[in-house]
Chain A
Amino acid sequence: MSHLLEVKDLEVKFALRFGDLTAIDGVSFTLDKRERLGIVGESGAGKSVTGFAIINLLSKPGYISAGKILFEGQELNQFSEEEIRKIRGNRISMIFQDPMMTLNPVLTISTQMVETVLAHHNMSKSDALDLALEKLKKVYIPSPEKRLDQYPHECSGGMRQRIVIAIALLTNPSLIIADEPSTALDVTIQAGIMDLLLELCETEDMGLILITHDLAVVSEVTEKIVVMYAGKIVEAGSTEAIIHDPKHPYTQGLIKALPGSLQPGSRLYQIPGMMPNLTSIPRGCAFHPRCTISDTICRKEAPPLISVSDHDRMVACHLVK
């Protein structure tokens, strides 16, 4: 069976004066049609870079140094800029964190939406406008006709993010990559945006990659999770399994560190130290200096990502059997 998206041994490097810096090191995962995947990790783990790499949006000095990205059977990383443009924003849409930054402040909503449609489809302007209206209705924007003539600053943060989602939907993509889509929003607005994404994946036949630092959000929306640390996948599996039975010490720490899982007022579990800088990733397992159970082997050898217990479960830890 062919997957919607297959990322195979992806390696992303940044060419710097003093040599290449490895930001993503051998990341592999697959996504089927209509499947929802969460990429979780803290800042600097490489989640966003992974998202950018998929649609070839890495800005210099970043580049894909190895690996394959297969989307609907096509090898995206071999595409020229011209060819990737037919995929990006068309078959694969992206939603970013800050809707104020992604919308152009000096263009009306309708101009931006029509522009997107016309960039990918050959249709009349009035047809494009109808399509824009239809998508705005889909994301539950009240009085969408009025919104079309407004500028981004006239809309609230949640409304803007809905508009961004509507723009992403214009071309009927089969995959949406959402990079921290609700981080800048209030909880009530976030809940609405997440409900909307979930609903759209089902009604519009889309796959979703949700990139976020928030395990709780991911657990409500996705079916499977990839946990990243210092450019590598440390654990992958079904959302259910990862949330209820985390195997990797880092995943366990992340879950235990969340307030809400413990008795109120008790000390929160804290992972000692912090995520290493890319220039000084520790030898062996990158997590070993922060790990409570690390052993001599952890300091020497990087653990491979191997499957454990059930079929879908992958863990990169020497000490997890």
Chain B
Amino acid sequence: MADNPKTVLVVDDDPDARDFLTTVLTDNGFGVTTAKDGNEAIARIEQAKPDLVALDITMPEKSGVAVYRKLKEDDQLKTIPVIIITGVSDDFKRFISTRRQVPPPEGYISKPVDHEQFLSMVTDLLA
């Protein structure tokens, strides 16, 4: 893992939230890229395919939902596991219930994030 660390793309509009997850991941040997909105997230994914995406749902510009849809509808990208991270549980339920053709995300964590839970979820998904 040290030679070729797995990379996680952290997508959140709140810089504190990005810093938090970035630090947790780098402390544990993961490579991290960040994006502050949906557009930036898509640009990052197109630049270099990450191994996992930690995705906030409620963001300005392009929402997390649109990023998720793009990921799961693209044959090249749909195998990338996604952990949805959001403070709005209702949004998440609505998001899942209205998108039957899109598979559910691999993980879901609500804010405030428990870093140990987040870390074990990332580790499991990338094992």
A binds B: no
Residues of A in contact with B (beta carbons under 8 Å apart): none
Which residues on B are within 8 Å of A, measured CB to CB?
A: none
